[in-house]
Amino acid sequence: MSVSIQDAKVPTFANFVIGGISGVVAQMATHPLDVLKIRMQVSRKTLRNAALQTYGMNGARSFYVGLSAGLLRQLTYTTSRLGIYNTLLDIGEQHFGYLNYVTMISLGMLAGIMGSFIGCPTDLIFIRMVADINLPAEKRNNYKNVINGMSDVRKIEGFTALWNGAVPTMSRAAIVNGAQLGTYSRAKVMLQDTGYIQNGIPLQFAAALISSLITCFVSMPVDVAKTRIQNWRQSRKAPNIIAMIVNIIKMEGLIALWSGFLPSYIRATPNTIITMIPSRTVVYVACLTRPADRPL
């Protein structure tokens, strides 16, 4: 192999395709945990009670409510954020070599903000489909699928309503992606420097475990506030993200900002692994299969 795996780069378009595919696979694998996390955040139930309530609605199928919205969210949000981040990271490393931690976090935050704005409508519908269970039957949205939900919001609330909660969504995405993508990239460098783990799946796996823990902890307060805002049902306008966080602390205590932490963390680890490993695996396969005299 004349070109190392680390030096090899995938084409720009592949960064987006791989990001979307890996996001869909991750969503399929972790969707039930996403459902439980959201229901804990809007109802303040324990994990056990949220799971029993969900199962009681329609059996195991209830854990996959909102799947169409979750998948479309991955095809918009994850495709954009991972494609943009990997492209910017490749460009930066080509011109400057290894980037420092602050730069990696900044690139992750930028990619997250851009991706979350694109995916905000699907995220809104996803939250509402999952949270419907906590409303009286006569007040539920009863969206049949993500397309039906987006159509209803556009007709009843207006087109711009699809971006309700866009600011907290983008704020959360900046934190999540800065922590996840930046920490993942930095963790790989640190693990390589130890000499115990080099390139390959074990390195990517270990880096994903580290980044998922940090990501979950720092993003949960904003995530809880975002979910409450997007599921806001009162006649008065929903408070902004800062006001919502302050209100949660006053009414429920500081610990409430980490509602749903356990399912979120259990979800975050495999989600990060499934999402982050495929792109570098493609590089690995490309290096092994391409002719020696053909540049990657």
Inform me whether the pLDDT recorded for 283 exceeds 70.
no
Q: What percent of the chain has pLDDT over 70?
A: 89
Q: What is the pLDDT of residues 117-174, one digit of tens each?
A: 999 999 999 999 999 988 888 888 899 999 999 999 999 999 999 999 899 999 999 9
pLDDT averaged over the chain?
84
Per-residue pLDDT tens digits for 95-125: 888 788 788 888 989 999 999 999 999 999 9
For residue 281, the model assigns a pLDDT of 53
pLDDT tens for 28-54 read: 989 999 999 999 998 888 999 999 999
* Domains, the chain, with CATH or none: 12-289 (1.50.40.10)
Q: What does the pLDDT look like over 225-255, one tens digit per residue?
A: 999 999 887 778 888 999 999 999 999 999 9
For residues 109-130, one letter each, b for 16 or more C-beta atoms within 10 angstroms of the residue's C-beta and e for the rest, the string is bbbbbbbbbebbbbbbbbbbbb
The single-letter code of the amino acid at 163 is: W
Task: Write down the pTM of the prediction.
Answer: 0.79
User: 278 falls in which pLDDT band (50, 70, 90)?
Assistant: low
9: confidence class by pLDDT, cuts 50, 70, 90: low
State the Cα–Cα distance between residues 167 and 19, nearest whole angstrom.
Answer: 23
Torsion of CA 219, 225, 231, 232, to 10 degrees: -170
User: Both tokens of residue 27?
Assistant: 């969503």
Look up residue 34 and give its two tokens. Answer: 């996403």
Q: How confident is the model at residue 256 (pLDDT cuts 50, 70, 90)?
A: very high
- How does DSSP assign the chain, residue by residue? --S-TTT----HHHHHHHHHHHHHHHHHHHHHHHHHHHHHHHH---HHHHHHHHHHHHGGGGGGTTHHHHHHHIIIIIHHHHHHHHHHHHHHHHHHSSPPHHHHHHHHHHHHHHHHHHHHHHHHHHHHHHHGGGS-GGG----SSHHHHHHHHHHHH-GGGGGTTHHHHHHHHHHHHHHHHHHHHHHHHHHHHHTS--SSHHHHHHHHHHHHHHHHHHHHHHHHHHHHHHT--SSSPPP-HHHHHHHHHHHH-GGGGGTTHHHHHHHHHHHHHHHHHHHHHHHHHHHHHS-TTS--
More confident residue, 15 or 236: 236
Q: At what angle do helices 101-131 and 146-157 cross, to 10 degrees?
A: 80
Q: 284: pLDDT confidence band, cut at 50, 70 and 90?
A: very low
Span 175-202, mean pLDDT? Answer: 82
Residue 7: predicted pLDDT: 47
Q: From residue 40, how far is each of 73, 112, 191, 252, 260 by CA, in Å?
A: 21, 24, 35, 13, 5
Q: Which helix (H) or strand (E) holds 283?
A: helix 261-289
| Tokens found for residue 44 | 């303040």
